[in-house]
A and B are shown apart, each in its own frame.
Chain A
């Protein structure tokens, strides 16, 4: 193998050919310009609507400001207050519960539904339409609809429970049931994107391994748990991270609309608490510190997952 790395030579001059490398450079330049042209609008939007407000939020966390009076610089007071504020710890606990109660069922259900949707059963195309339905309703609209479904007297949920002799609770006004009620709704809302991601993952699994497994006598469940599930591991990881972030931030609008954080703060997530501090208590500086804290937490979750992936790779 001596010729493969030899540069092309101009046979008339004996010098290396200039045309090919020059074209390559030009092509790279065109690629770079094209990429920049495509990325720039999004980047401008990202800087204007994410980076600058985030930096503004960071700066505001060093001030005390009620939106009306001039802001007063308070140094790290708002950051220190975070750790001594019992309401913050309560909201953090509620957020953690949302994640714990929501992510695992979402991942498992999403996976199972994706497997079901991926099969060639009769009538499955109808199901494929239905699994997409939650995506077309905004969280605000879905929250209003679900609040009606949970109505203790007229709601469909308690009507259905009464058919099997169960006297349903006042879902959204009950300190025991309000949080699970919201989590169920959030799982419903999260499933479409999870199913779509898993469908992508499932399509990368080769049919050959199933054929081989069938020859070896593996049944459907054995194939599901021993072959499909391990093979969609990268998707599971992605889905878990996305849903953890989704349940931290997505719980905001649902709890704001359906329970306003109640009853007795059982559904008051960190994001909702920050919102109330900002716009009910008009303490913008501390609300900014709370939002910053949430951002750090989300960053920590992502880093933790990346760390776990590296450890897993190292061991495998």
Chain B
């Protein structure tokens, strides 16, 4: 009698299911450390986790550190650039007890990761001098504020690496080629930008796009956030806990942004990362981009190009901003070594390397004003200093609780597609988007 009875089989199936789930659930309990002192520094090896696109410069940071401190090792690991997937990988690493010692954090994920007890609170360690004489007040407040958890703003779960903001990239070669002599100026309004973009697009017979579509596929919060703010609306209001992306003021903003498709910019594309629509591809006369795009553009674009401050609306800046940062994981067994790396990185020596190899704008008040980042070594953009000013005035990405940020992105993409592809009215589409986001916010607040 070798066959098993159905009852025995059921027991086996149940046992297998339990075996599969228990390790996952048990690991969720975590083994977080409250203090930031663990492990030795000399003779240590720490893991520095970043994203693929930043891997080369992170490797250079690690190399510079190891050159300075030969007894310390930094192993750089890189993974996906996709924020959602990156967060998932950190979560999986936490479950398996394999979190890196120091990891790339980013403003829009900071609260999620903090809520999940992934990063260590750095505030007390900084106060105790783990970064030497550097204190939190020395960092540009809006950028470090992005790493303060919504539910506990006294904590700081990451330190910004660069004070990034957006500017208007423009291709002088294309302007000249199509006889457009009105170059972008610091006092431009959005109407000026769209008008000149249309002129180039028309004169080129559609061969060149005047402007890379500001909304992209509808998800570009770095652009629509400040534009909504300039019209008097908020993507998310932390005080009311609501979004008013469907308000009358917001509707004016959406109408302006959507008007660019096909006239001043490329027609709507569902692919937000279409390489043919990138400014660096050389067939887009103007593009709204982050400071972080400079190294890539320098490498890819052979034309003559420059940057200008973002155009204004109603006299208000429409420069968006954000940052990525560095965090120490709560479960790191090498926390002292991790602190030592951060201490070096945020020192003058570390920031000098970061400015040289990564072109970053140091996130400290002194670094923004006096950093060597303005020296491009004769390469474009000549007007790089505009990013120092816009770092001070930028409207930063808004942190939203729970899954609301993701729902916001999905809702604005859907609303944009409804308007552009199905000719639904802007009012109806974005009112619906607002209702969706607010419903999710209510759900997320209820969970809290």
- Which residues from chain A sit less than 8 Å from chain B, CB to CB? 51-53, 55-56, 58-60, 66-71, 147, 151-154, 170, 172-175, 178, 258-260, 262-265, 279-283
Contacts and interface: CB of A to CB of B under 8 A. Distances in A.
A64 to B, nearest CB: 10
Contact of B403 (A55, A172, A265, A281): A281
B88 A173 contact: no
Contact of B271 (A55, A153, A172, A282): A172
B29 A262 contact: no
B128 to A, nearest CB: 28
Given A52-B16, A59-B21, A151-B276, A67 B29 contact: no
B269 A170 contact: yes
Interface in B19-45: 19-21, 24-25, 28-29
A264 B418 contact: yes
Contacts of A175: 417, 421-422
Contacts of B24: 56
Contacts of A279: 84-85, 88
B123 interface: no
B421 A68 contact: no
Contact of B268 (A56, A70, A170, A265): A170
Contact of B270 (A53, A70, A262): A262
A21 B31 CA distance: 63
A59 B91 contact: no
A9 to B, nearest CB: 33
Given A56-B20, A67-B91, A264-B421, 8 more contacts: A67-B87, A67-B92, A68-B117, A170-B267, A175-B417, A258-B271, A280-B406, A281-B407
Given A52-B16, A55-B20, A173-B421, A71 B267 contact: no
Contact of A52 (B20, B84, B402, B403): B20
Contacts, number: 97
B13 interface: yes
A55 B17 contact: yes
Interface of B: 13, 16-21, 24-25, 28-29, 84-85, 87-88, 91-92, 94, 112, 115-118, 217, 267-271, 274, 276, 402-403, 406-407, 410, 413-414, 417-418, 421-422
Contacts of B91: 67-68
Contact of A263 (B20, B410, B417): B417
B18 A260 contact: no
B421 A51 contact: no
Nearest to A64: B447
A259 B410 contact: no
A12 B375 CA distance: 106
A98 B339 CA distance: 53
B235 to A, nearest CB: 18
B270 A172 contact: yes
Name, among B85, B115, B271, B414, the residue most crowded by chain A CB atoms within 10 Å (CB to CB).
Answer: B271
A260 B82 CA distance: 13
B29 A59 contact: no
A88 to B, nearest CB: 15
A60 B21 contact: yes
Nearest to A262: B270
A280 B408 CA distance: 11
Nearest to A154: B276
